[in-house]
Amino acid sequence: MHITIRQLQIIEAIVQTHSYSLAAERLYMTQPAISMQMKQLEHNIGVKLFERQGKRIVLSSAAHDIYPQIQRLIADYDGLIQDIHDAKDLHKGRIKVSATTTSNHLITQMIAQFAKINKDITVSLKITNRGDLVQQLQNFEPDIVLMGEPPEKLDLLSERLIPNSLVVIADPEHKLVDKKKIPLVQISEEDLILREPGSGTRGAIENHFNQRNVNIKSSLELGSNEAIKHAVSAGLGIGVVSLHSILLELEANKLVILDVADFPINTYWHIVKRKGKHLHPAAKEFQDFILKEAVLYMDSYKQFID
């Protein structure tokens, strides 16, 4: 039985695009060449790989079981090629990093510090929501992911990094600013500005309120911490955001943290990668840098929650 890396790459491209023609464009091949390669492979292995659902091309039920192994083989091959390119100089390379939107402030600072001492390593950063991060991990796309609680169903390797404290914020003129130990029920009755359903932050907030038998309802849902900060500053309500994301606003007295009972919500950020994902030397160096430097960032915000 003969299977080529190119054939595995074609399978991956079809799975991701649901189209022979789009897969051909992605791989700079012709559609007939794609079709021929797949027919030849199916003949060699005796397994039907794809079936049509309407206009979409999807994996057959038989191919679903072997696709994770195909992804691992492609990831290992890509890692090997990268290592060959980097073999002459371990301080060169390109790193693919993805991070949740709540960690934008933290990860960009870390990348900036890393870049100062590793000028020949390029870091490609994607900031997105939890759902997209999970999809990227499924596809073995990023080298390293910075996110909240890792999903349990994926075959992942993760390491707890630093606390991610979620706090209730308001503009300095809000009526609750001078109140102490504000009951959670009272917070639920305010105009709440929260992240969109499906985000990791929204999930943590909903779990926190549900565990205390307090109903939560948002008056406004936004797609980023930055949008929530602007809305709160404009007096549209109070919000719940990651403490790391508001340090500058706190120092400038543009936002304040409300003293709310059962807050902050203390979650953690994790460094995550797909098990079987090979880290080339530059990516390994970046991972080690994050683990060593993360504790230094904790001192910058402890004063706001102690």
- pLDDT of 10 reads 93
- pLDDT of 297 reads 67
- pLDDT of 306 reads 52
- Lookup: tokens for 34: 């794609």
Give residue 74's identity as a one-letter amino acid code: I
SS3 content of the chain, % helix, strand, coil (to 5): 45, 25, 30
Fold of 5-65: Arc Repressor Mutant, subunit A (1.10.10)
In contact, 156 and 150? CB cutoff 8 Å = yes
Interatomic CA distance for residues 46 and 250, integer angstroms:
63
- pLDDT of 104 reads 83
Three-state DSSP class for 291? helix
Superfamily of domain 164-266: Periplasmic binding protein-like II (3.40.190.10)
Chain region(s) in the chain for CATH 3.40.190.10: 89-162+268-304, 164-266
- Lookup: tokens for 235: 């007096």
pLDDT tens digits, residue range 136-185?
998 888 999 998 888 888 888 899 888 888 999 999 999 999 999 999 99
- pLDDT of 298 reads 65
Phi, psi of 142 (to 5 degrees): -80, 155
- pLDDT of 61 reads 86
Question: Tens digit of pLDDT per residue, the chain (306 long)?
Answer: 688 999 999 999 999 999 999 999 999 999 999 999 999 988 888 889 999 988 899 999 888 888 988 888 888 888 787 777 765 555 677 899 999 887 888 888 899 999 998 888 889 999 988 888 988 998 888 999 998 888 888 888 899 888 888 999 999 999 999 999 999 999 999 999 998 887 778 888 999 999 999 998 888 988 888 899 999 999 999 999 988 888 889 889 999 999 999 999 988 889 999 887 878 788 888 999 998 887 776 665 555 555
Chain region(s) in the chain for CATH 1.10.10.10: 5-65
> Ramachandran region of residue 237, left (φ > 0), alpha (ψ -120 to 50) or beta?
left
All residues at 6 or more sequence positions from 189 whose CB lies less than 8 Å from its CB, including other chains: none
Superfamily of domain 89-162+268-304: Periplasmic binding protein-like II (3.40.190.10)
- pLDDT of 62 reads 85
- pLDDT of 1 reads 67
